[in-house]
Amino acid sequence: MRIARTTGSGGHGNLTVPARYGPNRTRVLRCSTCKARFSERKGTPLYGTRLSAQTVTAVLAHVAEGSGTRKTARLVGVHRDTVTRYIRQAGEQAQQLHDELVALSPPDQRAPTG
């Protein structure tokens, strides 16, 4: 089975699905170029979670709307430490993405420093 979506050099058809794991049947991807194996969730806030993607998405959606940790935990039905952990993971991912995009962005010619 070939996967169209790839990490690294995308769209080359170099990923296969040799296995699945966990209660959510998360796919293990294998790169035919470098022979590495990794989770399809690697590099996302879903990496290392046992919760379903819908539950994690609900947690992050409530937090994005301004709900507090305890209120989010009650609404979604998870422990407040779980909410805190996902907030931290999502924040770290967002920070890495921001740093990467800022490093790649061209300088603003309209800025006072030119």
Separation CA 93–CA 7 (nearest Å): 15
Closest CA to 63 of 45, 42, 39: 45
Query: pTM, whole model, 2 decimals?
Result: 0.63
Bridge partners (DSSP) listed for residue 58 = none
Q: Among residues 27, 50, 49, which one has the least CA distance to residue 39?
A: 27
Task: Please compute the mean of the pLDDT values over residues 33-62 and round it to a whole number.
Answer: 85
Q: With bands split at pLDDT 50, 70 and 90, how would you rate the model's confidence at 64? A: very high
CA 19 to chain centre: 20
* pLDDT tens per residue across span 8-37: 555 677 888 888 877 778 788 888 888 888
Q: pLDDT tens across 54-63, in order? A: 999 999 999 9
What confidence tier does 76 reach under pLDDT thresholds 50, 70, 90? very high
Rounded to whole angstroms, how far apart are CA atoms 80 and 68?
Answer: 10
Integer Rg of the chain from CA: 18
The whole-chain average pLDDT of the chain stands at: 81
